[in-house]
Amino acid sequence: MKKILFATILLGSLNIVMAQSPYVTLKDPNHPEQHILNGIITKYALQNDESYRWYNSSQSNYTAAESVVNTMQAAKGKVQIVLFGGTWCEDTQFILPKFFKLQEQSGFPDAAISFFAVDRSKKTIGGIADAFKITNVPTIIVMKEGKEIGRVVEYGKTGQWDKELAELLK
């Protein structure tokens, strides 16, 4: 019952956020020449913004193991993924472009991924980061039937975030 209530609150929060702009652009207080995205975004927001040059360069240096690609491919239609990242965060800049390359190689659908950008205090408009108890970014959460089955935080426990993600997807 608690998980159903949580899912209802989450969906209600998403509707409130979506009724407004799905994200905002903020000046980065630590780097005034840059900006931070906050709210619901997609990988395309990063790919198409020239100020995030790190996206393509980080993605180009990654080749996913075939077993990881196959595991993610087999998970299509069975799970949803919720991502939290900070456009200001070096760990996000390193991992999430690689995650999206893995997603594309596996054919995992964009529609099964919810991507939330956080500010430097790791908060999102709509309070979604608080609802998921996000403390570090990036965080990749695997959901099945509205329930969290696991998460990979930053580089994971072993430093092999993609292999840890594949274990959750099995």
Q: What is the pLDDT of residue 81?
A: 98
CATH topology of domain 2-169: Glutaredoxin (3.40.30)
Q: Per-residue confidence at 7, pLDDT binned at 50, 70, 90? A: very low
And the tokens for 145?
Answer: 């039937």
pLDDT of 8 above 60:
no
Q: Per-residue confidence at 12, pLDDT binned at 50, 70, 90? A: very low
Mean pLDDT across 140-156: 97
Q: Map tokens 């993610």 to a residue.
A: 72
Domain boundaries defined on the chain: 2-169
CA distance linking residue 90 with residue 55, whole number of Å: 11
